[in-house]
Structure 1
Amino acid sequence: MKIEFMQMLEKLTASYNINLTVMTPPFEGIENFDYGLRKALDPQFDWQDFGRLLFQQVPPKTLVFAQGAFELHFAFFFLPDQPDTLLCVGPWSSGAQSAEKVEWCEKNLDAAANQVIREYYNAVRVVDNDILKNMLYAMVSLLYPDGDLASQEWLEFMPLNFLPDIRCFDLPDFKNNLPAELVAERYAAENRVLDAVTQGDTATALSALEALARFRLKPRFSNPIRDQKNLTVILNTLLRKAIERASVHPYYIDQISTKYSLQSEEIVTEEDCHRVQRDMVREYCMYVQQYSLQQYSPLIQKVINHINLHLDSTLSLKSLAALCYISPSYLSNVFKQETGQTLTDYISTQRMARAANLLRTTNATVASVAEDVGILDVNYFTKLFKSATGLTPTRYRREKHDR
């Protein structure tokens, strides 16, 4: 049950892009539980003492919701029957800084330190406080079937709610290390998007994109829409390199990259930007699913790419073998071994898939579609198409045509 619970909790915090920190004595590795804020403020901070203080103040069988320094929220609770394991969820923010905190920062910090604090806030996930707390309580309650889980809210939680010494903000560790931690977090989120797209994993890629969106880059233009366009162009460039790693042919990469380069210039609102970025990630993942050849050897990659890009040409085992300077029998054996189907079957499948797409999306005649996929005999094409889809080309168009 505890293993299943931890898996559920990890999925919940990951979906919200919020830290989950396991704290156990001697409390090694917990210094980044708040994305490095406290470490930057006080490089000599006693983390063992901090951990011991948390263990003393969080009661057993209790879910503590605590508001700490800089108006950040955390949740703490012990695992049942494991008094040496304290779980920390957070930090998260429930909204923009309060007017009082903004005034305090402007009054006590110089411009550089104030900018660091603003960037820090941009890196902390903003969520609906009530919804997240209710979800956490419902989840932690699963560990207490007898209903003996208590809940407490601490607004003056001493281990977290300290008044920083403003002299700390002038230390190099604050002005350099904390921004570096946040940049590292942003790059990690960016890499999660690219890794997921390289695998064609749409759900993970979209979730990682949402996590990346919480980081606000320093504006480079006075026009915020220009900044949004630039971010979308940058994402487009990164994604095209990601699917290149997945062995997608440059022909297809150029198609999708050009499409979204044009769409990026049409952005007029921030919502346009988010929509284009989500569509972009979905379609790049689809291209990996459809065109990635990374599981094949270079030889078979070359053959498949040639087939897909020349479906309107005469394609035979002999001509393809000559293209690769190998014998037809060798190509036939290797192709069947790597793809699980014969070369002839693969060519026919790709031609029928291309024909189905043309019938569904264009008004070209059946004869023209047949010619576009390399079959000049319309009757033969009709026979092949019906065998592949169960419908004649004319009926397929009538039933499937995009309107």
Structure 2
Amino acid sequence: MICPNEFAFFLQVLQKSGIRSREFTLPAEGDLEIDAGLRRQLGVEPSVFAGCRVFFPHMEAGAVYHVTDCFYLHYLFFLLPDAPRCMVVGPYLSMRPSARQVLETAERYDLPPARTHLLEEFYTTLPQIADNSSFYSLVYCLCETLCGHQVQVRPISLNEEIASASFSAAPREADLPAAMQRLENRYQLEDDLLRAVAEGNRARVHQLLHGTDMNMAVEPRLADPVRNIKNYCIVLNTVLRKAAQQGGVHPIYLDDLSRTFAARIEQLPTTAAFRQLVLEMADQYCLLVQHHSADGFSKPVQMAMLYVRQHLAEGLSLRTVAAALGCNASYFSARFKKETGQTLSEFILQERMRLAADLLLNTRLQIQTVAQYCGFLDVNYFSRCFRQTAGCSPSEYRKTGRALQV
């Protein structure tokens, strides 16, 4: 082993940090359990090691293969100087999966509640390593010391089909006119996208992003392509938020969605997940403009809309809303109907049904609990109202997973 002292120090750091590691010989024989037994406990196949066999023949000295899987687990593979030896470090997390992500993962693999609990407990046993952690610097420095040249990071997702081409470094753009055209296309796409979001035009957003190579927008400033993509998404999240604000959405809604996407960006596991996240970000900000834009409404009506959306679980009526705003109830009722085309009661019911639809699709709350969150004390009355709006019962709606158009 070249540089045995450095390698021994690295192994000691891993041990002290609670990060697993393992060495094996290529070509790999058998099936090593490198995910700390997660798939065996859950009864999920194939193994991580079996999935990684596809890229083993393409591994190069001086490259670190950053592998992520469908359970949000991360692994680092790299060749050792005394080839054909290879080392794998992991599993570890870049960020603790949210309760929603755990439930979605469990649902994807048809895991019963008991095994879902095993998955939640498993995550608590793993070390968490942020993308900007010095741990990566340590790994890269070790590999550079072992191979004698600058390390290259190759991201690999076990959620997608792995092709040999994905292990080759992308060619550098040397043609200046082509580079200029690429920048112009990127800026034009972003301008068109922000304009569509500000207008709440989802059809235009989908048209712009359909078939577009979003990778052209990402500047390769760092060796890690996943980090480059995350940095771009952070910027895009900010400008999409500003576009929705220009579309008349109150900051209270923007802040909540922006924080949600900020967390998801840091959890982005691979470059393959990049496109879907961009699509979802643009789509969700468009929906905010469609559902929460206050453009064209007077200040009292804007304040009433905001008050209703913040107090859906409470007893709402024309009198309570008008009193909260310090307005005359009769005058305010006429003004709200004139500006919005619907009565305040109709607006309250509409917003309650939207909240109910969201809770039914995105949580596992009992129907009675959903009703309470939406301001209904009588679950039977809630079900009747929901059926009139959606055309089906709350439980049927949850099963079908259709979007509620109100």
Q: TM-score, normalised by structure 1?
A: 0.50
Q: Distance in 2 between matches of 1:224 and 1:119?
A: 22
Asked whether the 8 Å contact 1:196–1:202 carries over to 2, the reply is yes
Q: Residue 341 of structure 1 corresponds to which residue in structure 2?
A: 342
Q: Residue 310 of structure 1 corresponds to which residue in structure 2?
A: 311
Q: Distance in 2 between matches of 1:212 and 1:293?
A: 34
Q: Residue 181 of structure 2 corresponds to which residue in structure 1?
A: 124
Deviation string, structure 1 residues 350-394 (Cα, Å, up to 9, x no partner): 223322433444443333222111122334334433443444445
Q: Distance in 1 between matches of 2:391 and 2:278?
A: 37
Deviation string, structure 1 residues 7-37 (Cα, Å, up to 9, x no partner): xxxxxxxxxxxxxxxxxxxxxxxxxxxxxxx
Q: Residue 368 of structure 1 corresponds to which residue in structure 2?
A: 369
Distance 1:200 1:368, change over 3 A: same
Give, in angstroms, the shift of residue 259 of structure 1: 2.4
Distance 1:229 1:288, change over 3 A: same
Q: Residue 231 of structure 1 corresponds to which residue in structure 2?
A: 232
Asked whether the 8 Å contact 1:201–1:285 carries over to 2, the reply is yes
Uncovered stretches (5+) of structure 1, i.e. residues with no partner? 1-101, 103-113, 126-181
Q: TM-score, normalised by structure 2?
A: 0.50
Distance 1:218 1:359, change over 3 A: closer
Q: Distance in 2 between matches of 1:365 and 1:216?
A: 43
- SS of residue matched to 2:283: helix
Q: Residue 254 of structure 2 corresponds to which residue in structure 1?
A: 253
In the alignment, residue 193 of structure 2 is paired with which amino acid? V
Q: Distance in 2 between matches of 1:324 and 1:366?
A: 32
Alignment of 1:110-259 (within 5 A): 118-124=175-181, 186-208=186-208, 213=214, 215=216, 219-259=220-260
Give, in angstroms, the shift of residue 321 of structure 1: 1.2
Q: Distance in 1 between matches of 2:380 and 2:224?
A: 59
Asked whether the 8 Å contact 1:307–1:347 carries over to 2, the reply is yes
Q: Distance in 2 between matches of 1:233 and 1:345?
A: 38
In the alignment, residue 234 of structure 1 is paired with which amino acid? V
Q: Distance in 1 between matches of 2:234 and 2:331?
A: 44
Asked whether the 8 Å contact 1:317–1:332 carries over to 2, the reply is yes
Give, in angstroms, the shift of residue 237 of structure 1: 0.9
Alignment of 1:247-326 (within 5 A): 247-326=248-327
Distance 1:262 1:366, change over 3 A: closer
- SS of residue matched to 1:205: helix
Q: Distance in 2 between matches of 1:195 and 1:357?
A: 26
Alignment of 1:49-64 (within 5 A): none
Asked whether the 8 Å contact 1:198–1:285 carries over to 2, the reply is yes
Asked whether the 8 Å contact 1:366–1:393 carries over to 2, the reply is yes
- SS of residue matched to 1:124: helix
Give, in angstroms, the shift of residue 207 of structure 1: 4.6
Q: Distance in 2 between matches of 1:123 and 1:206?
A: 25
Deviation string, structure 1 residues 250-309 (Cα, Å, up to 9, x no partner): 232223222221222233443322332222222222222222222322221111111112
- SS of residue matched to 2:302: helix
Alignment of 1:102-113 (within 5 A): none
Distance 1:300 1:215, change over 3 A: same
Residue-pair matches, total: 232
Distance 1:222 1:243, change over 3 A: same
Q: Distance in 2 between matches of 1:204 and 1:378?
A: 39
Asked whether the 8 Å contact 1:248–1:293 carries over to 2, the reply is yes
Distance 1:361 1:281, change over 3 A: closer
Task: Name the Cα RMSD after superposition.
Answer: 3.2
Asked whether the 8 Å contact 1:197–1:243 carries over to 2, the reply is yes
Asked whether the 8 Å contact 1:122–1:214 carries over to 2, the reply is no
